[in-house]
């Protein structure tokens, strides 16, 4: 593949009078470690048809090709600003460069997914919706779960969202997944070790963890997110616990609250990369189940919950065992439970839930590094509780 025109191009057919004219540069659009570079093909293709178009980045001279506009250049560094030039190739050689594109900075996709749930009336939902965590606004349709489902759990890598278990007319052991950057319906992933709902999910960049659930199980199990297949035994929670929640850093997973013989305030942790039983971490500020949790790489947040019926958000420093500290309050009439939460590296987002016996479609957010009350983000398409959430930019990545 030629890396640049025209210097250094060696061909027995090279003829500078028969190469194509330069393409006309369009807009470069950033993605996650990539950019899409649009252009208009030249009207003068030279002495033969154009066989390919090449886009090259500045800095780093990263090159990609395509048969037509746009060219997607991968392997870029998130957070670095790039411009691009495009050139065309025919059998006589490379065209001149186009002008440079405007500057674009690739960024990690910050997409949050909300799936399933129980609406105020009618059947459970199979809908999956998405938000851009960095930008407030209403959710948009993503696709569908394999079946109507509530009380399922979710986890994610930067590219794939995974949903496990739930209640689909009975407890389910189904694991299903989506590619987060591409809207569409779920695909079968494999099976959990047992049919279970009201369980919790958490993950780092490679491994998804599912823990607890009905019927009062203490099982922790794991999958490799990039590889479809059935779950594998990881270890045990401290007790048989339903209606539990989970979040993670890159190395440590936390499970919190839940219901045993009654609501509990226990926080427990695992090392995600190493199978084994959970260890005591500390306590929440209240007993509660149906709490929703999310995290940055350093801080875990736990919001709302039943039994103590509260709108309280607690936080912990994930790397340091100890009891939770008050963070602020969720938006609600007086208390909220059975919502779901997802996060980016900087922002925690809660969606749906039961607000004083009324299911809501509210989406709300906090800045994870700064204690304070939640702010309005937008709305889900339908009010619901007992839904699942995950994201492509959470603290475990």
In this prediction, residue 32 carries a pLDDT of 86
pLDDT-above-90 percentage for the chain = 91
Residue 145 pLDDT level (bands cut at 50, 70, 90): very high
Q: What is the mean pLDDT of residues 123-129?
A: 97
Q: Indicate if the pLDDT at residue 8 is higher than 70.
A: no
- State the Cα–Cα distance between residues 34 and 39, nearest whole angstrom: 16
For residues 207 and 224, give the distance between their C-alpha atoms in angstroms, rounded to a whole number: 5
d(CA 147, CA 11): 58
Lowest mean pLDDT among 9-13, 86-90, 165-169, 219-223: 9-13
pLDDT of 4 strictly over 80: no
Judge contact between 143 and 113, C-beta under 8 A. no
pLDDT of residue 63: 94
So what CATH class is 1-107? mainly beta
Question: Measured between alpha carbons, how far apart are the two ends of the chain, in Å?
Answer: 34
For 111-391, CATH number? 2.120.10.80
> pLDDT of 40-59, one tens digit each?
999 999 999 999 999 999 99
Residue with tokens 């779920």: 186
pLDDT tier, 9 (very low <50, low <70, confident <90, very high otherwise): low
At 93-105, the pLDDT tens digits run 899 999 999 999 9
Task: Decide if pLDDT at 3 tops 50.
Answer: no
Closest by CA position to 72, among listed 32, 36, 126, 114: 36
Predicted local distance difference test score (pLDDT) of residue 304? 97
Give me the residue spans of the domains in the chain: 1-107, 111-391
Q: What percent of the chain has pLDDT over 70?
A: 97
CA–CA gap between residue 64 and residue 251 (Å, rounded): 35
How far apart (Å, rounded) are the C-alpha atoms in residues 364 and 375? 5
Q: Give me the count of residues in the chain.
A: 397
**Measured distance CA(212)–CA(304) in Å, rounded:** 19
Q: How confident is the model at residue 1 (pLDDT cuts 50, 70, 90)?
A: very low
pLDDT at position 11 is 62
Residue 12 has pLDDT above 80, yes or no: no
Give the model's pLDDT for residue 16: 87
d(CA 108, CA 61): 21
Contact yes or no for 350/331 (Cβ under 8 A): no
Q: What is the mean pLDDT of residues 363-376?
A: 98
Write down the pTM of the prediction: 0.85
Q: What is the pLDDT of residues 176-230, one digit of tens each?
A: 999 999 999 999 999 999 999 999 999 999 999 999 999 778 999 999 999 999 9
What pLDDT band is residue 5 in, cutting at 50, 70 and 90?
very low
List b or e across 187-197, with b for residues whose CB sees 16 or more CB atoms inside 10 angstroms: eebbbbbebbb
């Amino acid at each position: 593949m030629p890396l640049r025109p025209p210097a250094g191009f060696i061909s027995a057919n090279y003829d500078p009078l028969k190469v194509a004219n330069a393409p006309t540069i369009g807009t470069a659009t950033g993605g996650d470690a990539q950019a899409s570079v649009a252009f208009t093909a030249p009207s003068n293709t030279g002495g033969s048809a154009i066989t390919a178009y090449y886009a090259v980045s500045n800095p780093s001279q990263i090159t990609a090709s395509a048969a037509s506009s746009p060219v997607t250049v991968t392997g870029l560094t998130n957070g670095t600003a790039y411009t691009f030039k495009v050139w065309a190739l025919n059998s006589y050689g490379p065209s001149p460069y186009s002008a440079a594109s405007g500057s674009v900075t690739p960024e990690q996709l910050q997409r949050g997914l909300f799936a399933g749930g129980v609406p105020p009336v009618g059947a459970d939902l199979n809908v999956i919706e998405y938000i851009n965590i960095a930008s407030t606004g209403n959710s948009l349709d993503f696709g569908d779960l394999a079946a109507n489902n509530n009380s399922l759990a979710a986890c994610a890598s930067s590219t794939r969202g995974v949903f496990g278990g739930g209640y689909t007319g009975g407890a389910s052991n189904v694991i299903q997944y989506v590619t987060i950057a591409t809207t569409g319906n779920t695909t079968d992933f494999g099976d959990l070790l047992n049919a279970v709902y009201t369980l919790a999910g958490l993950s780092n960049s490679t491994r998804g963890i599912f823990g607890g659930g009905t019927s009062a199980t203490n099982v922790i199990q794991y999958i490799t997110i990039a590889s479809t297949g059935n779950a594998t035994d990881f270890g045990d929670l401290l007790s048989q616990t339903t209606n539990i929640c989970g979040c993670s850093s890159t190395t440590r997973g936390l499970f919190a609250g839940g219901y045993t013989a009654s609501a509990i305030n226990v926080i427990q942790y695992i090392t995600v990369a190493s199978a084994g039983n959970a260890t005591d971490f500390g306590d929440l500020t209240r007993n509660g189940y149906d709490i929703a949790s999310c995290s940055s790489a350093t801080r875990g947040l736990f919001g709302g919950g039943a039994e103590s019926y509260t709108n309280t958000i607690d936080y912990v420093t994930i790397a340091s065992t100890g009891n939770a500290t008050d963070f602020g309050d969720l938006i609600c009439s007086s208390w909220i439970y059975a919502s779901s939460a997802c996060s980016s590296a900087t922002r925690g987002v809660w969606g749906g839930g039961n607000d004083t016996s009324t299911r809501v479609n509210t989406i709300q957010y906090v800045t994870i590094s700064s204690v304070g009350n939640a702010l309005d983000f937008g709305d889900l398409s339908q009010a619901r509780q007992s839904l699942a959430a995950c994201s492509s930019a959470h603290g475990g990545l």
